[in-house]
Structure 1
Amino acid sequence: MASQGTGYDLSASTYSPDGRIFQIEYAAKAVENAGTAIAIKTKTGVVIAVEKLTSAGLIADGKHIASRARDEAVNHRDTYRYPAPLKALADRVSMYIQAFTLYSSVRPFGISTIFAGIDDSRGPQIFMIEPSGVFWGYNGCAIGKGKQLAKTEIEKLDLDNLDLTQAVDEAAKIIFKVHDDAKDKDFELELSWIGPESKGRHEFVPEELKKEAIRKAKEALDDEMED
């Protein structure tokens, strides 16, 4: 960055002469260097897949935001006597994240956050919050070092006709395809879902189904390399 080291990157409340806040850009770069995470929305639910690398990252930031999201959900239920709609929850958390970009005494969170769930009125939904606090709704999204290729692969999917079990297989294939063996030797695939199969709760995909998805993903990758 052109202005790096000139003093404009010492605080989240300091703008560079061209109107940039470098600490937010640094936070976004930290996300780009992390393992890939994707979310895929189907007619009945959402599947989330994570390339869990054996390396250090801003794990504490993620735990902090997860805890904040739980607090917001509880506060909403206590105040309004019904569960928080996913968009309302994402909105509340995004404002909290954005507040950490405003003051010199704090720093932006070095994570992007995926919210996935099922609303009674709107059905399955996905929202992603960026380190700046901006959030958007998606049918499918990707973050991390493999996000560009992952986005391309998600765009190829017929999401309107994909069931949740098929989405598990497709999510596993995408994570294995974007993983860079040359740079990251070891990784653990984490798969979770929410939908009728999980009785409306966000849970890890059953182990047998996960193993089958991994087997299919490896076979697809081998076939692609042979071609």
Structure 2
Amino acid sequence: MAVAGLLADARSLADIAREEASNFRSNFGYNIPLKHLADRVAMYVHAYTLYSAVRPFGCSFMLGSYSVNDGAQLYMIDPSGVSYGYWGCAIGKARQAAKTEIEKLQMKEMTCRDIVKEVAKIIYIVHDEVKDKAFELELSWDYRHEPPCPVTK
């Protein structure tokens, strides 16, 4: 899960996602598919846009997953409660510049390891040294679950 926006809202939505996944597993006996989880959380976020008594959530977030059956999946949920699946997506301050860089990549021909390296390059490309604070980028990789072939089937 990656988040941009109000972190308190993000923590609340992370708890909702955890609860949805736990309830699904206890009811059906297997892990929740990512599309189903994204749709459930998106419905919850959308409900907060319908009534004036509650404040809408002030964050966008991405959910990612990899499974042997479904391959790699990435979903983005925006504050209006809309959920879409993507090959590559960006949220936050420099999202347009990052999306432009992502569109240049040939995602279908890359392995997950290659994509992680490209993501790090994109983060450094879109960082504005004049306006933005200095940052350190730390990435980790769980290579035990790396698919032997490109991300797509």
What TM-score comes out, normalization by structure 2 length?
A: 0.86
Superposed counterparts of 1:140-219, under 5 Å: 140-191=88-139, 197-199=143-145
- Matches of 2:133 and 2:39 in 1, distance apart? 37
Higher strand share: 1
Aligned-pair CA distance for 1:167: 1.4
Are the counterparts in 2 of residues 150 and 178 from structure 1 also a CA contact under 8 Å? yes
- The SS at the match of 1:77 is helix
Is the contact between residue 49 and residue 175 of structure 1 (CA under 8 Å) also seen in structure 2?
A: no
The more displaced of 113-122 and 58-67 is 113-122
User: Which has the greater radius of gyration?
Assistant: 1
- On the 8 A contact 1:108/1:131 being kept in 2, the answer is yes
TM-score, reference length from structure 1:
0.59
Instruction: Give me the whole-angstrom Cα distance separating, in 2, the residues matched to 1:101 and 1:185.
Output: 32
Pair 1:80-2:8 in alignment = no
Among 86, 92, 95, the alignment partner of 2:43 is: 95
Correspondence 1:1-227 to 2 at 5 A: 58-191=6-139, 197-199=143-145
Distance 1:104 1:198, change over 3 A: farther
Identical amino acids, percent of aligned pairs: 54
Unaligned 5+ segments in structure 2 are 147-153
Q: Is the 8 A contact 2:65 2:73 kept in 1?
A: yes
State the superposition RMSD in angstroms: 2.2
For the Cα contact (< 8 Å) 1:76–1:82, is it kept in 2? Answer: yes
Tell me the amino acid that sits aligned with residue 199 of structure 1.
H
Q: Which ranges in structure 1 are unaligned for 5 or more consecutive residues?
A: 1-47, 201-227
